Structure 1
Amino acid sequence: MLVSGVLSNNGFEIARATNGADALALVRSRRPDLAVLDVSMPSLDGLEVLRSIRSDPETASLPVILLSARAQETDVKTGYAEGASKYMKKPFSPRELVAAVRELLPDQDGGL
């Protein structure tokens, strides 16, 4: 399942990055309403991108969903401690992903 495909098929506007450095650049330049980050991205991992987002006053309040195959309690706690709005353990269903996005963007049908 491609996250971008699931979200675009549900009416969300998507900006896609293939690595953490590009994801951070997109967040800084496009100012999205929400970011979905994989913990295991190349270049900068999702936690590094999240730290950078939270340390910048311009993006600090951006809702961020972390996706990870790391399902240990310590991994989840670390994700939330770093500032994740939601931590989703892989595998998850498309329905769960869309529900998480809608939970964090309750007044919108799209606009990622």
Structure 2
Amino acid sequence: MTQLHSLEAAMGRIILAEDEEISGTIASSALMNAGHAVGWLKDGKEVLAAMVRRPPNLAILDCNMPGMSGVLVLREMRRRADLCEVPVLMLTGRTSDSDERIARFAGADEYLTKPFDLIELVQTAEDLMNGKRRRLS
């Protein structure tokens, strides 16, 4: 395997749904610096439409977004044959156990709260894309 070929195999296509400028910039930069392609959108309806056009290797969703909340996007993903297997990381400011339970019940594979650790974000994203962490169905 050539160096270029191994880089392509390691790179993932990630869609980031985040309406906060600072969180979006920090998260997308960390993931891109780790070698991943990141599409960052700020509206839940736009996120879902983008994923329908081209399913990503990972979706990172914020619970609170304009247009459509992250949990509603997640529920729609789990209903669709073309998106039901895409791993989902919820990255949110909602820190209560009940918020996490709601997201996991809707189909979230992992749940990180803000403020987040960049190393943990990248490691969790890569683990999800490599199938190392998945929700219990």
TM-score using structure 1 length: 0.90
CA RMSD of aligned residues (A): 1.2
Q: Report the alpha carbon displacement of residue 31 of structure 1 after superposing the two structures with TM.
A: 1.0
| Structure with bigger gyration radius | 2
Structure 2 stretches lacking a partner, 5+ long: 1-22, 132-137
Match of 1:26 in 2: 50
Identity across the alignment (%): 33
**Residues matched between the structures, number:** 107
| In 1: Cα distance, 2:54 partner to 2:40 partner | 11
Supply the AA of the counterpart residue of 1:38. D
TM-score using structure 2 length: 0.74
Larger relative strand fraction = 2
Q: Give the SS at the match of 2:107.
A: coil
Identify which of structures 1 and 2 has the higher relative contact order when contacts are C-alpha pairs closer than 8 Å and 6+ apart: 1
Q: Out of 108, 113, 131, which is 1:84 matched to?
A: 108
Runs of 4+ in 1 over 2 A off after TM superposition: none
Structure 1 stretches lacking a partner, 5+ long: 108-112
Supply the AA of the counterpart residue of 2:89. I
